[in-house]
Amino acid sequence: MAWPDIQSLPTASGAAAVSRAREKFESRALDRLLRLPQPTLRRIAGPPVRLDGQTLDLETQATLRLKELTHEPSVEDLPIPQGRRALTRQCALAGGRQPIGAVVPLRVSGAEGELPARLYVPRAQATSRHSSTTGGPLLFYAHGGGMIYGDLDSHDALCRFLAEHAQTRVLSVDYRLAPEHPFPAPVEDGWAAFRWTVDNATRLGADPARIAVGGDSAGGALAAGIALEAASAGIPVAFQLLLYPVTDMAAETGSRKLFAEGFFLTQEFIELASTSYMRDGQDPTDPRVSVAYAPVPSGLAPALVVTAGFDPLRDEGEAYAAKLAAAGVKVEQVRYPGFIHGFANVVGVGRIQRAAVAEIAGRLRVAMG
């Protein structure tokens, strides 16, 4: 496979350009709304929402209220193809257009053929047409979306933001999705793509000993599984960045019950994702489905496990962090009590969530040296 020159993504044309212009306008409008004085924003959002000893973040509450007022459909209420487009649009609206040094479109090895991928290079490392920095840290990233949604575009802003603020190259991989490709296709693609990344580290400008794995939600599950398999195989992983990961598909936790409705990620979404991803009769406690049931091998990479207070997945993420810590793994577990699932994609509007993701990127930067 020919190694492409570092380049920006192609400029959109026609209908795509119109759509992008509309997203840009809507993103700016939402950003201005969220930056209104707090008393004004409170009148829009409504009375404070307090649950389980936590208060919902004001910017988050205002965004949820705006979604309600504009009758924005939830992705799980749409046919899956339309839901995929809706999720990507919502992520683009919340993520904005983040600066980056360069983006390299790639094809990487999957379990049954090549997969689309993007390498994000921070501005400080993209000082010339060809990469001028080699042997640095790299984050292998798996996007979220319940194994049925999400792609390179949905998480483009987040990957740009992480790369730039962590000063770490980010390789985002577009694995196969259910229901067209149910379990174990995403797991197998993730592992194959990670092995390709390790084998091609020098071509990616990365030090093979400084490759981290990361992901959000379902992508967090993939990243955690890759780290477990790599440790068992004796392949070094420098770090795990697990953003509100799915860890237990059989869970009936308190947070799944408390936040089942009204906080973006719903029980209906979770059920759709589960039934689309797992075939009839599939055991949800299979360690490749739910890392909560996997043995913890020696040499497992240190981890940062991030959770959100108003997220149905909160409790299982924190339980997984506790399990790793009990097994002797170096773990930092951080909860953002006022946030909801998906907050890491909100780097282009408002202030509070963007600041939190910058903090997470800073922790990644320190961990990667």
Asked if residue 190 is part of any domain, the answer here is yes
The pLDDT value recorded for residue 15 is: 60
Q: Going edge to edge, which strands form the sheet with 169-173?
A: 102-110, 113-121, 169-173, 136-142, 206-216, 240-243, 303-308, 331-336
Asked if residue 10 is part of any domain, the answer here is no
Indicate if 240 and 362 belong to the same structural domain: yes
The CATH code of the domain that includes 269 is 3.40.50.1820
Asked if residue 220 is part of any domain, the answer here is yes
Final residue in a domain of this structure, among 91, 117, 151 = 91
Catalytic machinery residues: 217, 311, 341
Q: Is the pTM of this model over 0.85?
A: yes
Indicate if 221 and 311 belong to the same structural domain: yes
Indicate if 228 and 287 belong to the same structural domain: yes
Number of structural domains the chain divides into: 2
* Structural domain for 75, as ranges: 15-91
Asked if residue 6 is part of any domain, the answer here is no
The pLDDT value recorded for residue 6 is: 39
Final residue in a domain of this structure, among 91, 118, 141 = 91
Tens of pLDDT, residue by residue, the chain (369 residues): 334 433 444 444 566 665 677 778 788 999 999 999 999 999 999 999 999 999 999 999 999 999 999 898 999 999 999 999 999 999 999 999 999 999 999 999 999 999 999 999 999 998 744 444 458 999 999 999 999 999 999 999 999 999 999 999 999 999 999 999 999 999 999 999 999 999 999 999 999 999 999 999 999 999 999 999 999 999 999 999 999 999 999 999 999 999 999 999 999 999 999 999 998 889 999 999 999 999 999 999 999 999 999 999 999 999 999 999 999 999 999 999 999 999 999 999 999 999 999 999 999 999 998
Question: Alpha-carbon distance 155 to 216, whole Å?
Answer: 10
Identity at 135, one-letter amino acid code: G
Indicate if 195 and 218 belong to the same structural domain: yes
Asked if residue 3 is part of any domain, the answer here is no
* CA–CA distances in Å: residue 312 to residues 35, 75, 109, 249, 316: 27, 17, 33, 12, 9
Final residue in a domain of this structure, among 62, 91, 120 = 91
Indicate if 63 and 206 belong to the same structural domain: no
Question: Alpha-carbon distance 56 to 261, whole Å?
Answer: 14
Indicate if 241 and 266 belong to the same structural domain: yes
Indicate if 195 and 288 belong to the same structural domain: yes
Q: Read off the tokens for 110.
A: 């999957």
Indicate if 336 and 249 belong to the same structural domain: yes
